[in-house]
Amino acid sequence: MDGYVLANHGKKRRKNRSEIRIMTFTEKMERERSSLRNDPGWLDKIHDILKDALGRLHWAGVSSLRCLGLGSPSESRSARLQLAWILELLSYANIGISLYDPVFTEEDINGFQSLGLNAVTGKEALDASHTLSNHTLLVMPHCDIELYTKVLDANWRHGGLNTLLMLGNPLDQYLLTSVLSISPKSTPK
């Protein structure tokens, strides 16, 4: 039995074993905001786009921001990055920010509250895309054409388009996709 070592079935204690620590919502958000601050050119470009749009509308600023279709920041880095740039973009302004997405988790809602943000829920959520007043910046990062249509329709009928600035996907992409998805059999003859 030379060279043979009997295995010990007892638990071994490992030295220098670090515990896995899960980051909190606030820590994750701060990490994403910090990464944006390290690339000021990108943030400056977004800031300039917003300033240009406000100038064209002859607005001194925005009164509120509503974000629809953000996704779940607790589950998606993309959603955290988008929320981070919203927070960075508006860090100089003291305005109300409300957020709505049906995929928000309890962790998201608690995280928003810790950041001083308002998550729209319940009956208020059903009205989240309807008429907006004052100078509202509406951020719609991942919304479908139906929600854009609903928002535009609600604000068109109530004369609210002049108080609405939308920041989202280019609407012409939706139009092109819609045209390309119509089959030749369904077109009128």
Indicate whether 170 pLDDT > 70. Answer: yes
Mean pLDDT of 89-100: 83
* Percent of the residues in the chain that have a pLDDT greater than 90, as a whole number: 26
Q: Please report the pLDDT score of residue 142 as a whole number.
A: 77
**C-alpha dihedral over 112, 59, 144, 89, to 10 degrees?**
-40
Q: Which residue has the higher pLDDT, 122 or 127?
A: 122
pLDDT greater than 60 at residue 67: yes
Share of residues in the chain with pLDDT > 70 (%): 76
Q: Which domains does the chain have, with CATH numbers?
A: 25-180 (3.90.190)
Q: Which helix (H) or strand (E) holds 167?
A: strand 164-168
The pLDDT value recorded for residue 110 is: 95
Q: pTM to 2 decimals?
A: 0.75
